[in-house]
Amino acid sequence: MDAGRAAQDERYHRCRTEYGPALERLARAYEADRDLRGDLVQEIHLALWRSFSLFDGACSERTWIYRVAHNVGASHILKRRRLRTQAFDGLETLEHVAAPDDLQRDAESRSDMERLTALIRRLKPVDRQVATLYLEGLSAAEIGEITGLSPGHVATRLHRLKTLLSTYFHQGETHADPKGR
Protein backbone atom coordinates (compact mmCIF):
# COMPACT_ATOMS: atom_id res chain seq x y z
CA MET A 1 0.00 0.00 0.00
CA ASP A 2 1.44 3.38 -0.97
CA ALA A 3 1.87 6.22 1.54
CA GLY A 4 -0.97 8.28 0.05
CA ARG A 5 -3.45 5.45 0.39
CA ALA A 6 -2.27 4.70 3.93
CA ALA A 7 -2.76 8.37 4.90
CA GLN A 8 -6.22 8.34 3.28
CA ASP A 9 -7.15 5.20 5.23
CA GLU A 10 -5.81 6.59 8.51
CA ARG A 11 -7.65 9.89 8.09
CA TYR A 12 -10.89 8.10 7.22
CA HIS A 13 -10.68 5.73 10.21
CA ARG A 14 -9.95 8.60 12.59
CA CYS A 15 -12.86 10.64 11.21
CA ARG A 16 -15.19 7.64 11.22
CA THR A 17 -14.50 7.20 14.91
CA GLU A 18 -14.91 10.90 15.72
CA TYR A 19 -17.84 11.74 13.42
CA GLY A 20 -19.61 8.38 13.02
CA PRO A 21 -22.50 9.22 15.38
CA ALA A 22 -22.99 12.63 13.72
CA LEU A 23 -23.08 10.99 10.28
CA GLU A 24 -25.73 8.57 11.58
CA ARG A 25 -27.82 11.52 12.80
CA LEU A 26 -27.40 13.29 9.47
CA ALA A 27 -28.56 10.18 7.64
CA ARG A 28 -31.57 9.96 9.97
CA ALA A 29 -32.50 13.52 9.00
CA TYR A 30 -32.40 12.56 5.33
CA GLU A 31 -34.00 9.11 5.39
CA ALA A 32 -36.80 7.71 7.55
CA ASP A 33 -36.67 4.14 6.25
CA ARG A 34 -34.20 2.11 8.34
CA ASP A 35 -32.91 -0.02 5.45
CA LEU A 36 -32.51 2.93 3.09
CA ARG A 37 -30.86 4.89 5.91
CA GLY A 38 -28.33 2.08 6.32
CA ASP A 39 -27.58 2.29 2.61
CA LEU A 40 -27.24 6.06 2.87
CA VAL A 41 -24.77 5.77 5.76
CA GLN A 42 -22.69 3.37 3.67
CA GLU A 43 -22.81 5.78 0.72
CA ILE A 44 -21.66 8.62 2.97
CA HIS A 45 -18.76 6.58 4.36
CA LEU A 46 -17.66 5.47 0.90
CA ALA A 47 -17.83 9.03 -0.45
CA LEU A 48 -15.95 10.29 2.59
CA TRP A 49 -13.18 7.72 2.20
CA ARG A 50 -12.88 8.51 -1.52
CA SER A 51 -12.91 12.24 -0.87
CA PHE A 52 -9.89 12.18 1.42
CA SER A 53 -7.65 11.56 -1.58
CA LEU A 54 -8.76 15.04 -2.75
CA PHE A 55 -8.69 16.84 0.60
CA ASP A 56 -6.21 19.71 0.35
CA GLY A 57 -6.82 21.46 3.67
CA ALA A 58 -8.47 24.52 2.10
CA CYS A 59 -11.19 24.16 4.75
CA SER A 60 -11.28 22.41 8.09
CA GLU A 61 -11.54 18.65 8.12
CA ARG A 62 -14.83 18.98 10.00
CA THR A 63 -16.27 21.23 7.29
CA TRP A 64 -15.06 18.80 4.63
CA ILE A 65 -16.73 15.83 6.34
CA TYR A 66 -20.07 17.60 6.70
CA ARG A 67 -19.92 18.92 3.13
CA VAL A 68 -19.33 15.44 1.74
CA ALA A 69 -22.05 13.94 3.95
CA HIS A 70 -24.58 16.59 3.01
CA ASN A 71 -23.80 16.33 -0.68
CA VAL A 72 -24.42 12.58 -0.52
CA GLY A 73 -27.57 13.12 1.56
CA ALA A 74 -28.92 15.76 -0.82
CA SER A 75 -28.25 13.51 -3.81
CA HIS A 76 -29.98 10.67 -2.03
CA ILE A 77 -33.17 12.59 -1.33
CA LEU A 78 -33.29 14.08 -4.80
CA LYS A 79 -32.94 10.59 -6.25
CA ARG A 80 -35.69 9.33 -3.92
CA ARG A 81 -37.85 12.32 -4.76
CA ARG A 82 -37.95 11.26 -8.39
CA LEU A 83 -39.40 7.96 -7.22
CA ARG A 84 -42.23 9.45 -5.17
CA THR A 85 -44.77 12.17 -5.65
CA GLN A 86 -44.53 13.98 -2.27
CA ALA A 87 -42.82 17.34 -2.72
CA PHE A 88 -40.57 18.91 -0.13
CA ASP A 89 -41.68 21.97 1.78
CA GLY A 90 -39.84 25.24 2.14
CA LEU A 91 -39.79 27.27 5.31
CA GLU A 92 -42.35 29.57 3.73
CA THR A 93 -44.93 26.81 3.31
CA LEU A 94 -44.15 24.98 6.53
CA GLU A 95 -45.00 28.09 8.50
CA HIS A 96 -48.57 27.41 7.38
CA VAL A 97 -48.42 23.62 7.17
CA ALA A 98 -46.60 22.62 10.35
CA ALA A 99 -49.61 22.80 12.61
CA PRO A 100 -49.89 19.78 14.90
CA ASP A 101 -53.09 18.71 13.14
CA ASP A 102 -51.01 18.07 10.02
CA LEU A 103 -47.92 16.41 11.45
CA GLN A 104 -49.10 15.14 14.80
CA ARG A 105 -51.02 12.25 13.25
CA ASP A 106 -47.69 10.94 11.97
CA ALA A 107 -45.81 11.74 15.18
CA GLU A 108 -48.28 11.28 18.03
CA SER A 109 -46.47 8.36 19.58
CA ARG A 110 -42.96 9.63 18.83
CA SER A 111 -40.60 11.45 21.12
CA ASP A 112 -39.85 15.12 20.57
CA MET A 113 -36.62 14.20 18.75
CA GLU A 114 -38.51 11.93 16.40
CA ARG A 115 -41.06 14.69 15.81
CA LEU A 116 -38.24 17.14 15.11
CA THR A 117 -36.62 14.70 12.69
CA ALA A 118 -39.94 14.15 10.93
CA LEU A 119 -40.37 17.89 10.48
CA ILE A 120 -36.79 18.35 9.25
CA ARG A 121 -37.29 15.56 6.68
CA ARG A 122 -40.10 17.61 5.15
CA LEU A 123 -37.81 20.56 4.43
CA LYS A 124 -36.19 21.30 1.10
CA PRO A 125 -32.59 20.01 0.98
CA VAL A 126 -30.93 23.37 1.70
CA ASP A 127 -33.20 24.05 4.69
CA ARG A 128 -32.66 20.49 5.88
CA GLN A 129 -28.90 21.02 5.67
CA VAL A 130 -29.04 24.25 7.63
CA ALA A 131 -31.24 22.76 10.35
CA THR A 132 -29.26 19.56 10.69
CA LEU A 133 -25.89 21.30 10.76
CA TYR A 134 -27.16 23.73 13.38
CA LEU A 135 -28.31 20.81 15.52
CA GLU A 136 -24.81 19.36 15.15
CA GLY A 137 -23.45 22.52 16.77
CA LEU A 138 -21.97 24.29 13.75
CA SER A 139 -21.93 28.09 13.58
CA ALA A 140 -23.64 30.14 10.89
CA ALA A 141 -20.23 30.79 9.30
CA GLU A 142 -19.40 27.08 9.22
CA ILE A 143 -22.83 26.21 7.85
CA GLY A 144 -22.38 28.89 5.19
CA GLU A 145 -19.02 27.43 4.19
CA ILE A 146 -20.58 23.98 3.79
CA THR A 147 -23.77 25.03 2.01
CA GLY A 148 -22.48 27.98 -0.01
CA LEU A 149 -24.90 30.40 1.70
CA SER A 150 -23.76 33.61 3.32
CA PRO A 151 -23.58 33.54 7.13
CA GLY A 152 -26.30 36.22 7.23
CA HIS A 153 -28.58 34.13 5.06
CA VAL A 154 -27.91 31.12 7.29
CA ALA A 155 -28.71 33.18 10.40
CA THR A 156 -32.00 34.35 8.85
CA ARG A 157 -32.99 30.79 7.92
CA LEU A 158 -32.07 29.58 11.40
CA HIS A 159 -34.15 32.29 13.04
CA ARG A 160 -37.18 31.40 10.93
CA LEU A 161 -36.64 27.70 11.53
CA LYS A 162 -36.34 28.13 15.30
CA THR A 163 -39.54 30.19 15.33
CA LEU A 164 -41.32 27.53 13.28
CA LEU A 165 -40.10 24.71 15.52
CA SER A 166 -40.97 26.59 18.69
CA THR A 167 -44.47 27.27 17.39
CA TYR A 168 -44.91 23.69 16.25
CA PHE A 169 -43.78 22.16 19.54
CA HIS A 170 -45.75 24.63 21.64
CA GLN A 171 -48.90 23.98 19.62
CA GLY A 172 -48.22 20.27 19.72
CA GLU A 173 -48.35 20.40 23.50
CA THR A 174 -51.44 22.62 23.76
CA HIS A 175 -53.20 21.56 20.53
CA ALA A 176 -53.77 25.26 19.81
CA ASP A 177 -54.81 26.51 16.43
CA PRO A 178 -51.80 28.14 14.69
CA LYS A 179 -53.93 31.14 13.79
CA GLY A 180 -55.10 31.63 17.36
CA ARG A 181 -58.69 30.43 16.87
Query: According to CATH, what is the number of the domain 1-86?
Result: 1.10.1740.10
The predicted model scores a pTM of 0.64
Encode pLDDT of 162-173 as tens digits: 888 777 777 754
Q: What angle separates helix 125-135 from helix 112-121, to the nearest 10 degrees?
A: 150
Neighbours of 70 (CB within 10 A): 24
- Residues of the chain above pLDDT 70, percent: 76
83-118 burial, b at 16+ Cβ within 10 Å, e below that, comes to eeeeebbebeebbebbbbeebbeebeeeeeeebbbb
Task: Name the 3-class secondary structure at 89.
Answer: strand
- What ranges do the domains of the chain cover? 1-86, 87-181
pLDDT in tens, 26-84: 898 888 889 999 999 999 999 999 999 888 889 999 999 999 998 999 888 888 777 66
